[in-house]
Amino acid sequence: MKYPKKLKEHGCIGLVCPSSCISSERISACRDTIESMGYSVKLADNLDINYGGYMAGTGQIRGEWINRMFADPEVDAIFCVRGGDGSSRIMEYLDYELIRNNPKIFVGYSDVTNLHLALNQNCGLVTFHGPMVSSNMADGFDPESEASLFEALSADGSYTYKNPEGFPIKVLKEGKASGRLTGGNLSLLSASMGTPYEMDTKGRILFIEEVCEPMSKIEKWAYHLRNAGKLKDCSGILLGQFTKVDNADCPEYDVIKCLTDIFEGFDIPVLYNIQSGHGSPMMTLPMGAVCNIDTASQTIIFDTER
């Protein structure tokens, strides 16, 4: 598994909606945002199609646009416009051989977790759990999120992940570990179990984040991973942003205390407060790259073989 080629100056970025759509008016803001960075833009034609109230067209349409962007020799990178819902429908329509033979930068998060798992595991492609155009860029791309994204995309040899200033990386369980990074949004990771795209954690570093869910669902999905053997198989864990995750009936039993219970009995290092997920700033993680974590120095360093 290798890093994709660097994003060249004045390169072309393809914009896709693999999950939910945006408004027709929002398309112009997304295009302008990317062009203001000095890149040209190609737009999928389903960005503003509303199918079923929450999807940017049928699963086939959305899957075919992913294929077309990977196949297009003029497109250097593919940025997801937003997440949302519905990416599970596109998985059967992805042309994994085509994608494997045309590796390029792919960026997104949230419902895009399905694609990170599939492109890492089925295509040997390092992808980027990073900011999306409508969700994170069009209304003001904060400097720390922008710097993290382009440092990750252009890293040569190694990439040292850094939290934004004022957000210390914290230690839940001590130790060192190395392995390819996998994971993403917790609900999607849980839903992958039993499918052809099931997350492989054997010897890997597992990253988890979530948004707008009660503690009971965090418990349910994380225990599903534990009961499926996915937690005992991994070599280390990174906990990202758990944005607007609450426990109204017992506020002191927060997400870290809940996950501490779930990780009981596993002798693996765990770092938390990683600022990647549904919060701001939103830092970038290269999914599928070899990740080296050391809780003593609180460092997270990626190998960026191209």
What's the chain's Rg over C-alpha atoms?
18
Q: Which of 110, 134, 135, 190 is catalytic?
A: 110
Q: Is 6 exposed, middle or buried (0-12, 13-18, 19+ CB in 10 A)?
A: middle
The Cα–Cα gap between 226 and 129 comes to: 23
- DSSP states of 13-57: EEEE-SSS---HHHHHHHHHHHHHTT-EEEE-TTTT--BTTTBSS
| First CA to last CA distance, the chain | 9
Catalytic (active site) residue 209: yes
Q: Which of 87, 144, 187, 209 is catalytic?
A: 209
Catalytic (active site) residue 110: yes
The Cα–Cα gap between 66 and 249 comes to: 43
Residues with catalytic function: 110, 209, 278
